[in-house]
Chains A and B, each alone.
Chain A
């Protein structure tokens, strides 16, 4: 069961890309871009991870099932982050109703 044999050159090319992106992300961290710094760092990290997954891990030549498994993993991770953050960021949006606060005070007393 010989899978797809990738040309050596491609591996070196991908490796060069990875090193280049590492240099880029390190360089960008030294420039003040405000909130774009975080976004740039994460975007570059996603690019690097994609390169590794597609070429080093052969996902480019793998079956749909493998892609599905990986996609599922990241979709679940996205759900985890999205729901946790949406809870965290919206907690302060609505004040505690005054009638509730009265009840709390009564219980304490």
Chain B
């Protein structure tokens, strides 16, 4: 799993590097774009995702100790928090950006100065958060499988590796967001 996560670092790393380069090219447009994102929702979603990481870690602990009921509870909690994150992202943020006319290629109505570069920022924003949301969806699938397996009593203190490894994946997706949040929402300057 760690090796797979290393390839994931490469994957997101390439995207981050591209973002850094274009941010340097069109700094003012990227800063303006960053200020258009809702920092309150971003911060709230960060908290939601960190909570889900906590419940996942506690779930792995429950599996280590062989507490089946506790394990299922924590996995369900993690699943719900993950779904909440995706819900906030899609239902609130993306919907809002779309309605405001900041969705490149779909609904773009802003034609002020530098609008091409602003569009590029939103391309990055949708692609980075979209790929992240896709990873969350995969995580939701993994968690659902784990919950079913745990319900059937497939895990024991001797055999809980699937839980541990899925936990690693979930935490990794959390880490990606830990970097996305400041890069997209914060470093444009909010003052």
Contacts and interface: CB of A to CB of B under 8 A. Distances in A.
Interface in A86-103: 88
Name B's interface SS.
helix
Interface of A: 1-3, 5-6, 8, 11-12, 14-15, 18-19, 22-23, 25-26, 28-32, 37-38, 41-42, 44-45, 48-49, 52-53, 55-57, 66, 69-70, 72-74, 76-77, 80-81, 84-85, 88
Interface residues of B, number: 49
Question: Shortest 3 CB-CB distances between A and B: which pairs?
Answer: A73-B6, A41-B182, A73-B9
Contacts of A25: 181-182, 186
B186 A29 contact: yes
A70 B6 contact: yes
Name A's interface SS.
helix
B21 A88 contact: yes
Given A69-B3, A72-B6, A85-B21, A6 B61 contact: yes
Contact of B17 (A49, A53, A55, A81): A81
Contacts of A84: 17, 21
Interface string B168-191: 100110110011011101110111
A73 B1 CA distance: 13
Given A49-B179, A88-B21, A56 B10 contact: no
